[in-house]
Structure formats: C-alpha cells, structure tokens
Amino acid sequence: MLAAMSERTESRKQRAARRAGEFPPAPEPLPRPVLDSHTHLDITVSEYGVPLRAPRSPAEDGSGGTAADPVAAAIEVAAAVGVDRLVQVGVDVDSSRWGAEVAGRYPAVLATVALHPNEAPRLADLDEALRQIEALAAHDRVRGIGETGMDFFRTGDEGRAAQEESFRAHVAIAKRYGKALVVHDRDAHADVLRILDDEGAPDTVVLHCFSGDAEFAAECVRRGYLLSYAGTVTFGSAGALREAAALTPIDQILVETDAPYLTPMPHRGRPNASYLIPLTVRSLAATTGADLDELCAAVSATGDRVFGPW
C-alpha cells in the first residue's frame, strides 16, 4: 500500500532520474555470435555495478552489496544474447594492467593497453608511463595498442603536443609488437590521418567509435582500416554516420559498446554494457541493407582476424 502510494506520488521526472542509472533490459539475442570490440568493464562495474544483476544485500554474501565476481557476471549476461567475446580497453597504466590480468583469467576477454589521449597531457612523466604500456604490450592476451589517438574536444592547444607525442609512441609500439592499433579520434580526423601517414600505419588499424562522415569513411576504407561502429549509429541525429556505415564494406566493419558510454537507442542516457550490442548490430543491418546473419558472421570473423584467436 505504502509502496503503491509512493509509486504514484513520484513524478515522471523523478522516475526518469532514478531509472537513468539502471541497466536497460536485455535485447533479443542475435542469431549468431559477435564480439564487443571495445568496452571498459572496469569503469562500467565500478560506476554502475553488475549489468542486469540486482545488488545483493551485504548480509547475503558479505561483499558489501556487489556480486562476488562482477566480471564473470557481465560476461555471462552478454553471452546469453550472443555476445560471446569482448575486448577490454585500457586508458591508463592501471586500467591497462587490470585488462591484461583479466584477459589472462577469462577466455572470453582479450585486452588492449594504452594511455588515452585525454590522459597523456596530464601525466608528469609520459616517457615512464609509455615504458609501462610497452611492457604490457608484450603480454600474449594483449592484442591491441589503444585507445590512443587525438581528442580535440577536451584538450586545448597546450595539450595537443603531448597528445601527438603519445599517439606517435603508441603507433611505434603497435608496429614493434605486431598488434592492432585502436584509435580514438574525436574532432581530429585530419590530424589522425596525418600522423598515421607520417609514422607509417601498423598493418591493422581500428578507428574505434567511428564518428566521421561518408567522405572520411571512404578515405579510411581505402587505407584498409577497420571502422568500429558504436551505439551512436542508432541516434536520430546520426544521418551522416549512417551514410558512412552504408558505404563501409562488410568485412571492414566492427561493432562496439564503448561501455558504459554511448548506450544505443532506445536506451540512450542509461548505462551501457556488452549485452546491448544486439541493438547496434540490428541498426547497422538496417542501415547497410545487410542480412543480419551475414553481418554477424562478418563482424565475428573480422574480430577474430584483428584480435583473435580468443
């Protein structure tokens, strides 16, 4: 009775605010397995808890309200809808080390290691941090160097030199270890291409959360880069991005969450996790005109080619 009353007296706005922090329900499973090519499990679990699992009471398991193994739970929830592999992406030395350890422990997880372009300008000793990333790059379960790149959205002119130095160093590490380069490019398309040309791009380059238009996509396709599409491709305002997706050859497409960010429609604004990839894959199939089965098979094969075998 009391619960029913408070339910009724809660305003629409209050209800929306409460639900904003909750994981959306699981979508319909995919007909064939795919991967999440870019996720931040550490940030997702620490900020929002375990996807789709109600927090246990501290009395129940003594863990202070979180599930005993949040990473295993997140993997299990994703696998249940056909997302059976994921790539854990590092953004600084600590998260890169964590990712390498987790990838060593769970067969469904591979890792990439790097200093994020927003992190590089903040470091007191960039060279030392790069040495630590390079040491992690040798790990067998680390299959990519990223996310590195350029981000002119949050970094002013003064940060750009450090960002570029860091990006160039990551390109060199990727080439030395023969691993994929995972590029973060925000408002910096021309500079990303300039630096890749200047350094000489590694054999495998993934543009994560691809955000360009058709013209930039065509340029990346011509160079043989992989374009990884995130939940942004489902947003109503993303017409130019859908044009880019429509001209990307099916064997150069990857899909990702970038979780906990960029949750696909119709759940934009709520936390993201790997189990929501089916929403992005279905949207991409509609945009590109590809058969859903065929798109899943292609994305899965590309994931294995770029990062695998798991």
Binding-site size for Zn ion (CB under 5 A) equals 3
- The verdict on whether omega for the bond into residue 31 sits within 30 degrees of 0, i.e. cis, is no
Bridge-based pairing of strands 226-229 and 253-255 is: parallel
Nearer to Zn ion, 114 or 173 (CB): 114
Nearer to Zn ion, 84 or 258 (CB): 258
Residue whose token pair is 């960002």: 163
- Which residue of the chain is nearest Zn ion when measured via CB? 184
Nearer to Zn ion, 118 or 234 (CB): 118
Sheet holding 205-208, edge to edge: 34-39, 83-89, 109-113, 142-151, 180-186, 205-208, 226-229, 253-255
In the window 210-269, what residues touch Zn ion (CB under 5 A)?
A: 258
Q: Give the residue from 124, 205, 116, 208 showing the smallest Cα distance to 163.
A: 116
Q: Which helix (H) or strand (E) holds 117?
A: none
Question: C-beta of 184: minimal distance to Zn ion in Å?
Answer: 4
* Spatial CB neighbours of 240, under 8 Å, sequence gap ≥ 6: 213, 214
What letter does residue 122 receive in the DSSP assignment?
A: G
Nearer to Zn ion, 217 or 259 (CB): 259
8 A C-beta contact, residue 258 and residue 209: yes
Question: C-beta of 95: minimal distance to Zn ion in Å?
Answer: 10
Question: C-beta of 7: minimal distance to Zn ion in Å?
Answer: 37
Nearer to Zn ion, 81 or 89 (CB): 89
Question: C-beta of 70: minimal distance to Zn ion in Å?
Answer: 19
Question: C-beta of 94: minimal distance to Zn ion in Å?
Answer: 15
In the window 153-212, what residues touch Zn ion (CB under 5 A)?
A: 184
How many angstroms from the chain centroid is the CA of residue 214? 22
- Please tell me whether residue 119 binds Zn ion under the rule CB under 5 A: no
In the window 24-63, what residues touch Zn ion (CB under 5 A)?
A: none
List binding-site positions.
147, 184, 208, 258
Question: C-beta of 150: minimal distance to Zn ion in Å?
Answer: 11
In the window 125-144, what residues touch Zn ion (CB under 5 A)?
A: none
* Spatial CB neighbours of 39, under 8 Å, sequence gap ≥ 6: 86, 87, 88, 89, 256, 257, 258, 259, 273, 274
Residues found near Zn ion in the complex (CB under 5 A) = 147, 184, 258
